[in-house]
């Protein structure tokens, strides 16, 4: 099985679905994280180029911690837009990777990059199976898309994955993003929800776990409601 997470920024996979990715990697599945941007807007006292390099290195270290491969696209942080060209970029990426399952952002999210990424991935998921749409890679048909989100949106998980045995790996991966742990905790304002990042992620996973009778869980909403057996 091949699991691919398509995320807007380098730390998104670890925060929202790191336990699930680590769980699949641990059982021998192929896991890839596709980063739309290098998160070059998420910092201070540096340049965009310097921060992009830092965050790419952090993302690679975090992906390795989870047991995943890292792939970087060249979209610009805070400037991901919806277009046919960008949709086709995602089609090509999915066809190259040929995943069985795709994870990405829920459509309702405060961050514009998250919202646009969700739409691009959803539409690319459909289009990557079309035989008359020609790209360098052959058409493929992933089984399903699963969306992850956060409490600030209307996101209400329908599928809960027990990540109790992999939550410590998730936290270790999050801590690889040293620049972002500092940024999110000091930025304040609209990012105040991330104060105490690791502690907050742990608390949310524990709350979700209680709904399933486990210690820690991650939640998802499947695109196809009757096909949630692929993720677990």
Domain positions in the chain: 2-225
The pLDDT assigned to 40 comes to 74
The pLDDT assigned to 47 comes to 85
Tens of pLDDT, residue by residue over 62-89, are 999 999 999 999 999 999 999 999 999 9
What are 162's strand-pairing partners?
217
Over residues 201-207, mean pLDDT: 93
Percentage of the chain modeled with pLDDT above 70: 88
What are 105's strand-pairing partners?
148
DSSP element (H, E) containing 123? helix 112-127
The CATH class, in words, for 2-225 is alpha beta
Over residues 172-185, mean pLDDT: 82
> Under 8 Å CB-to-CB from 51, ≥6 apart: which residues?
38, 39, 40, 42, 43, 179
> Are the beta carbons of 68 and 31 closer than 8 angstroms?
yes
Over residues 160-188, mean pLDDT: 86
- Closest-CA residue to 16 (of 229, 215, 226, 194): 194
> Are the beta carbons of 69 and 31 closer than 8 angstroms?
yes
Return the sign of the alpha-carbon dihedral for residues 185, 159, 70, 87: negative
Q: What is the mean pLDDT of the chain?
A: 90
Token readout for 126 is 């459909």
Percentage of the chain modeled with pLDDT above 90: 77
Better pLDDT: 97 or 179: 97
Phi, psi of 5 (to 5 degrees): -105, 125
> Which of 66-75, 92-101, 173-182, 208-217 shows the lowest mean pLDDT across its residues?
173-182
The pLDDT assigned to 138 comes to 95
d(CA 118, CA 136): 23
- Closest-CA residue to 166 (of 10, 13, 20, 1): 20
Better pLDDT: 15 or 228: 15
Better pLDDT: 83 or 230: 83
pTM above 0.85, yes or no: yes
Spacing of C-alpha 230 from chain mean position:
17
Number of alpha carbons in the 13 Å side-chain half-sphere of residue 107: 10
Q: At what angle do helices 84-97 and 112-127 cross, to 10 degrees?
A: 60
> Which of 23-32, 204-213, 219-228 shows the lowest mean pLDDT across its residues?
219-228
Token readout for 173 is 């991966």
d(CA 168, CA 164): 8
Tens of pLDDT, residue by residue over 35-57, are 999 987 766 667 888 888 999 99
Tens of pLDDT, residue by residue over 88-145, are 999 999 999 999 999 999 999 989 999 999 999 999 999 999 999 999 999 999 999 9
Binned at pLDDT 50, 70 and 90, residue 192 comes out as very low
The pLDDT assigned to 187 comes to 60
Q: Using the predicted structure, report yes or no on whether residue 163 has a pLDDT greater than 60.
A: yes
């Amino acid at each position: 099985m091949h699991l691919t997470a398509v995320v807007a920024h380098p730390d998104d996979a670890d925060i929202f679905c790191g336990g699930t990715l680590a769980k699949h990697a641990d059982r021998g599945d192929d896991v890839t994280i596709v980063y739309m941007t290098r998160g070059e807007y998420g910092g201070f006292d540096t340049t965009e180029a310097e921060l992009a390099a830092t965050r790419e290195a952090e993302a690679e270290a975090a992906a390795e911690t989870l047991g995943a491969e890292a792939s970087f696209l060249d979209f610009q942080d805070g400037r991901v837009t919806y277009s046919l060209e960008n949709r086709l970029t995602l089609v090509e990426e999915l066809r190259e990777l040929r995943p069985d399952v795709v994870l990405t952002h829920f459509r309702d999210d405060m961050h514009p990059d998250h919202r646009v990424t969700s739409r691009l991935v959803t539409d690319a998921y459909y289009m990557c199976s079309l035989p008359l749409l020609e790209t360098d890679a052959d058409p493929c048909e992933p089984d399903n898309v699963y969306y992850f989100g956060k409490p600030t949106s209307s996101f209400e998980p329908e599928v809960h994955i027990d990540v109790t045995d992999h939550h410590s790996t998730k936290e270790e991966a999050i801590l690889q993003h040293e620049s972002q742990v500092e940024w999110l905790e000091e930025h304040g304002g609209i990012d105040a929800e991330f104060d105490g990042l690791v502690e907050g992620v742990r608390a949310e996973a524990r709350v979700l776990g209680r709904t399933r009778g486990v210690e820690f869980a991650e939640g998802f909403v499947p695109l196809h409601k009757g096909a949630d057996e692929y993720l677990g």
